[in-house]
Amino acid sequence: MGVTVAIFLFAELMFALFFPQMDHNTFEHFQLNHAWRPHSKSTVSGWQSSNPEFKKPYVHFYNAQGWVEDHDISLKKPKGIYRIFYVGDSFVEGTCPMGQSVPSLVGQALNERYKKTGYQFEVINTGTVSYSPVIYYLNIKYYLLKYQPDVVVVNVDMSDDYDDWKYRQKLLYDKKGEPFAASPTNIYYQLFIDTEKGPVKATWLRRGILFLYQYSHLYNWLLKKFHRVDQSKEKEEEHWRSMVLRKGLVQFYPRWSWCKPEWDAQTRGNVAFTMGMLEKIIKLCQANHVKLLLSGTPYYGQFLFSGPQQQRVWSKRPHEEIEHLAKKYNVPYLDSVAALEPFIRNTTQDVYYYMNDPHFNPKGYALWARAYIDTFNSPQFKLLPEDCYQADLAGTGKKDAKG
């Protein structure tokens, strides 16, 4: 046994030296639950087997702030900079090369269109896997506001009600009763492990594999070399749907519950919490004179229709709830489903999404970015400096109300 352990440790040391980069670069964060490791990078090569059109790996860089940028962001905003923060989860980060993410494409388009105005648009990507409104709120309040944002874009994912429920289990509050920290959860003592397919029972074998995945360079190298997509586990979440956590004190909440056409009492309660966090974000931005744009991630199932009444396979109800809240506080809202539906409806999933995965492919991100760009360019929402809209009017020969 001693010889075996020695061989393993030697192999681990060699792989740490010669193959130091692992595909997961998050670490436990005392306030945001987890965050990207500053000054790091990750090479992503997922979906290759079922998406041959996008089989090349891509690299994401994380700056000093732990954001998906290849450069650091100055705390004090330079003169002439118009700073836009994108806040969200892996959809905002982008399951694509960095230059093809929505924040990158929006930044490129705005700087090209308004280059004669004297403004430079700094569109910053803070998207982090599995973030949700409770962490968006903490991130904006305790971190992003320090960087003097002009606009914050909050994109709500269709799994955010589930993630909010998950973080609530260990959420800490300040003396005023406001959320203060989404504490990390020691997964080795939990009864379930969160996976791409949903929560699964946390057996000792799964805990051991997760430990190796997090800390072993040798294991990660072997995983890259021999891993194959396992299609047999697609219904694993259904198997654990009725599982009760913490000895029955907390009822298990399935992922994507608010995408069902009908909500039970548990779903309504969890959605109310998520909407409450978005409401706190709205009030926080308004109190600090920061413009806010709300939107939701459009899932492929929301563009599919079935039955005699042609109902959506996945309900659009989460988007409608976000829109209702935005209208209540007079906040700009982008209906991403409505914007993308003319293009995505009646297409197969592989046109704009990855197969066997809810995320966009690069074509889908380009389409989604166009909807965001149109929203920024619209004078109706007043998200940009007035000079930009005046420049647009002058360029088209139109006159504004004063002219």
What are the helix (H) ranges across 345-385? 349-352, 362-377
Q: Where are the alpha helices (DSSP H) in 288-353?
A: 317-328, 336-344, 349-352
pLDDT greater at residue 290 or residue 5:
290
Q: Examine the pLDDT at 13 and tell me if it is beyond 60.
A: yes
Please enumerate in sequence order all residues whose Cβ is within 8 A of that of 334, keeping only pairs 6 or more positions apart, or say none.
293, 294, 295, 371, 372, 375
- pLDDT category at 148 given cuts 50, 70, 90 is very high
**pLDDT confidence of residue 209:** 64
273 close to 263: Cβ distance less than 8 angstroms: no
b (16+ CB within 10 A) / e for 177-202: eebbbbbbbeeeeeebbbeebbbbeb
CA distance 359 to 280: 27
Q: Cβ of 240: how many Cβ atoms within 10 Å?
A: 15
Query: What domains are there in the chain, each with its CATH number?
Result: 44-165+272-396 (3.40.50.1110)
- Provide, for the chain, the percentages of residues in helix, strand and coil under a 3-state DSSP scheme, each rounded to the nearest 5: 45, 15, 35
pLDDT at 324: 98
Strand 291-296 to 151-156 pairing: parallel
The region of weakest confidence among 40-54, 95-109, 112-126, 328-342 is 40-54
Helix 160-168 / helix 133-142 crossing angle, nearest 10 deg = 70
Kindly give the pairing relationship between strand 26-29 and strand 33-36: antiparallel
Q: Residue 299 has what DSSP assignment? A: P
- Kindly indicate the confidence band of residue 234, based on its pLDDT and cuts at 50, 70 and 90: very low
Report whether pLDDT(398) > 50.
no
Band of pLDDT at residue 184, cut at 50, 70 and 90? confident
CB 265 within 8 A of CB 259: no
- State mean pLDDT over 258-262: 95
Pairwise CA distance, residues 158 & 293, whole Å? 17
Q: What mean pLDDT comes out for the span 353-379? A: 96
Section 370-376 average pLDDT: 98
At residue 146 the predicted structure's pLDDT band, cuts being 50, 70 and 90, is: very high
Tell me the average pLDDT across 247-269. 83
Q: What letter represents residue 113's amino acid?
A: R
pTM for this prediction: 0.81
Q: Which residues, other chains included, contact 50 with Cβ-Cβ below 8 Å and sequence gap of 6+?
A: 229, 354, 355, 356
Which phi and psi angles does 39 have, rounded to 5°? 55, 45
DSSP string, 26-64: EEEETTTEEEEPTTEEEEE-TTTTT-GGG-S-EEEEE-T
- Mean pLDDT over each residue of the chain, to the nearest integer: 84
Under DSSP, the state recorded for 301 is G
What span, in angstroms and rounded, lies between the C-alpha atoms of 335 and 316? 10
Per residue in 15-55, pLDDT (tens digit) is 556 555 555 588 889 999 999 999 999 888 766 667 888 88
Closest to 320 (Cα-Cα) out of 299, 341, 344, 337: 337
pLDDT of residue 247: 38
What does the pLDDT read at residue 193? 54
pLDDT at residue 19 in the model: 54
